[in-house]
A and B are shown apart, each in its own frame.
Chain A
Amino acid sequence: MCGIVGLYLKNDKFEKNLGELFEPMLISMTDRGPDSAGFAIYGDEVGEGWVKLTLRHPDEAFSWEKLSDKLSASLGCEIKWMQNANVAVLKINTDESSARSALDELYPDVLILSAGSSIEILKEVGLPENIASKFNLSGMKGSHIIGHTRMATESAVTMEGSHPFSTGSDLCLVHNGSLSNHNRLRDKLKREGITFETENDSEVAAGYLTWRLNQGDTLKEALENALKDLDGFFTFTIGTKDGFAVMRDPIACKPAVLAETDDYVAMASEYQALVTLPGIENAKVWEPEPATFYIWERK
């Protein structure tokens, strides 16, 4: 069991309240996932020629200032950074692959949680309420956010095994369910050059989407291919730069509910995660169909 929640704003009315609206949604799914929790928030976009990375170091006392200075000197470009607990968001005036290579060389023990122009992924082991307060979720602003509460089944309870998983620039995945063919698929993807941090089945789904997107699939095509190649149970929510997508497996093994008003689209494993949203009493509420792809994007 796991819990998934997502909130996508259709206009800017609630952008400053995004974290505040989302926090109770995430916490309400504690029953479905008390082991670890995480979220991917989109907003505060960097401009052309810049990349935004979310980095994590296990030591809270780690000096991000030093890292930033060293990285800036190595890349010869400007870096803006902001620390949040043991995670830092860096805005770097270069491209993603240069930033990744420099980091790999200088700081191999620093983990890149996300990369893109808008996405920030934050996740940890522990109760959702503790993770929300650790990262001050309620104070966050943005256009959309997806989150996950995990009850581990297929692999260990670790930060690396918690969701969301980054699947490419500004893309991430959260998963409720379990995949049965993840071992063989992981081997195949490794041969295709995809790297994995864990034995987690959901990371394989994320790696699969990364691979399909690298092959030139659109998000919709990648998900259609996922329906053919992934065996098991899943409800996926995928964060994109401009919105989010929801897809359930063909037998609809795992729950999902959607709600829409003039101001937002919300997704959750259970309706009770949506009850604190403004205007939910009069929202259109429905269950997404199996093997059907739903996407909301601002553009």
Chain B
Amino acid sequence: MMTVDLAAQSVRDLNKALHECKDNLTEKEWVVTNPKGNHNIAVGLDADISVDIHGHAGYFCAGMNKTANITVHGNAGQGVAENMMSGVVRIKGDASQAAGATAHGGLLVIEGNAGARCGISMKGVDIVVKGSIGHMSCFMGQSGSLVVCGDAGEALGDSLYEVHIYVKGTVKSLGADCIEKEMRSEHVAELKGLLEKAGVDENPLDFKRYGSARQLYTFKVDNASAY
């Protein structure tokens, strides 16, 4: 196990060492101490390693992650796991705005609450939030799944494409073209799998499903020639 103390080393030193794991994997388990809200911790990783960050992280933590398994034992600032491609990112505390923004793949688990715009423009990632999420979450979400065990804020799933949204609690309001949909057996199975993967003990039958009504401009075949 390798420990990097950010009180003694810079984030740049840490990220450089983590990036080198791609071609020269000498250490699989990394521990980061004293993150102290620094931005860009463990960004751009591309190796089968685990990184445990002990404390609160700043903006863009675990951004662009590929393959790596990153855990923040604390809160994360804006844009955690933004544009993640694969791997697992787990936040033990709360996440700020735009968690998992534009992420293409992998699993993002937030054990506390997430702020506004959670999963904005998500493109294939699975996001599981044990708490609640803020307003404008999943705006223009394209694919993947968003699971919320608490409540969702205003304008959930506005201008949604094909993301599957599951919410256990209340939804303050649905965004344009987002509607509640029937929870069929394949959705229960999908949700059960997501909850198990995230290690969250909830009954899939307690959730409601939301998705796109596919009525906006982009869904009309008559407009296809405009692109």
Q: Is B58's CB under 8 angstroms from A271's CB?
A: yes
Q: Is A252's CB under 8 angstroms from B116's CB?
A: yes
The minimal Cβ–Cβ distance linking B158 to chain A, given in whole angstroms, is 12
For B115, the chain A residues whose CB sits under 8 A away are 252, 287
Q: Is B96's CB under 8 angstroms from A281's CB?
A: no
Number of interface residues of A (CB under 8 A): 16
Indicate if A255 sits at the interface (CB-CB under 8 A): yes
Q: Is B37's CB under 8 angstroms from A272's CB?
A: yes
Indicate if B94 sits at the interface (CB-CB under 8 A): yes
For B59, the chain A residues whose CB sits under 8 A away are 270
Q: Please tell me which one of the listed residues B38, B55, B116 contacts residue A290 in the complex, with CB atoms under 8 A apart.
A: B116
For B56, the chain A residues whose CB sits under 8 A away are 271, 285
CA distance A252 to B97 in the complex (A): 9
Q: Is B75's CB under 8 angstroms from A270's CB?
A: no
Number of interface residues of B (CB under 8 A): 20
Q: Is B116's CB under 8 angstroms from A272's CB?
A: no
The minimal Cβ–Cβ distance linking B140 to chain A, given in whole angstroms, is 16
CA distance A253 to B174 in the complex (A): 20
Q: Is A281's CB under 8 angstroms from B94's CB?
A: no
Given A251-B116, A271-B37, A271-B77: A290 and B135 interface contact (C-beta under 8 Å):
yes
Q: Is A275's CB under 8 angstroms from B36's CB?
A: yes
For A275, the chain B residues whose CB sits under 8 A away are 36-37
CA distance A252 to B115 in the complex (A): 9
Q: Is B116's CB under 8 angstroms from A270's CB?
A: no
CB nearest to A248 among chain B residues: B116
Indicate if A286 sits at the interface (CB-CB under 8 A): yes
CB nearest to B116 among chain A residues: A252
CA distance A250 to B36 in the complex (A): 28
CA distance A274 to B36 in the complex (A): 9
Q: Which 6 A-B pairs have the closest CB atoms?
A: A272-B37, A271-B37, A275-B36, A252-B116, A287-B115, A271-B56
- A255-B96, A271-B75 known; 8 new pairs, CB 8 Å cut-off, are A251-B116, A252-B134, A270-B77, A272-B38, A285-B56, A285-B75, A287-B94, A287-B115
